[in-house]
Amino acid sequence: MAKIELKTKVDADFIKEMISVFEKFEHQGKKYLPYLNTEQKGDEAVVYEKIIIPLFTDVLNYDKHKDFYPQTTLSTGKVDNWIRNREGSPLIALEALRSNASQAEFIEHRQRLLFGYFDELGVKYAVLTNGVVFEVWNRIAEKSKGLFFTIDFREIYIKFIGKGIKAFVDEDCRKFSNLMTLKKKNQYLELEHI
């Protein structure tokens, strides 16, 4: 497998799989970038079905029928979906926002919903995304949560369109490495072992 020759080594195939989610994106005849620039872009279901599901099934290798649990009502709100680990326990909470969600909406969802999922579901990770910004939060300690990483998918995709894999700098590759920790086969490994 080809590796990117940067300080942070990342499998080029993993990056191509991730990019393919955005290359395959199509909604009402619009591809990913044109869709983000339309007035019709405020649909959470599109973000969920066209970005979250393919990212977690095709790239991170979770089974949509075995690993995903549908929307669940908790005291803190309704979690869009959650993914279970091999033992069947909650591992990742997934929360989709509309693609034109504001920064204020991200903050509100973090405070009102996302952080409650850690406590109520006992997940290790919580993902909040509008299909552009992809925030991954993790449980650092028993009661502590922290931002693990953020990826701007629009920025990554534009870089890739312009120069291919060579466009990515070390910081991008660190984010890809962090994303790889969410792969189903890596869920019990620490980042340095991937």
In a domain? residue 3: no
Sign (positive or negative) of CA dihedral 14, 18, 20, 24: positive
Most confident of 12-16, 75-79, 188-192: 12-16
- 37 or 25, higher pLDDT: 25
E strand or H helix at 69, and its extent? strand 68-69
pLDDT at 143: 61
What local confidence, expressed as pLDDT, does residue 47 receive? 92
Structural domain includes residue 146: yes
In a domain, 163, yes or no: yes
**What are 178's two structure tokens?**
């962090």
- Residue 62, φ and ψ in degrees, nearest 5: -90, 150
Per the structure, the count of domains in the chain is: 1
For 107, the 3-state DSSP assignment is helix
Residue 32: the pLDDT is 95
Q: Which domain holds residue 140?
A: 12-188
Is position 38 within any domain?
yes
* Residue 46 resides in a domain: yes
Q: Does any domain span residue 194?
A: no
Calculate the average pLDDT of the chain: 85
Section 147-161 average pLDDT: 95
Instruction: Answer whether residue 17 is part of any domain.
Output: yes
Mean pLDDT of the region 167-179:
90
The predicted model scores a pTM of 0.86
CATH number at residue 174: 3.90.1570
**165 pLDDT more than 70:** yes
In a domain, 39, yes or no: yes
Is the pLDDT higher at 77 or at 5? 77
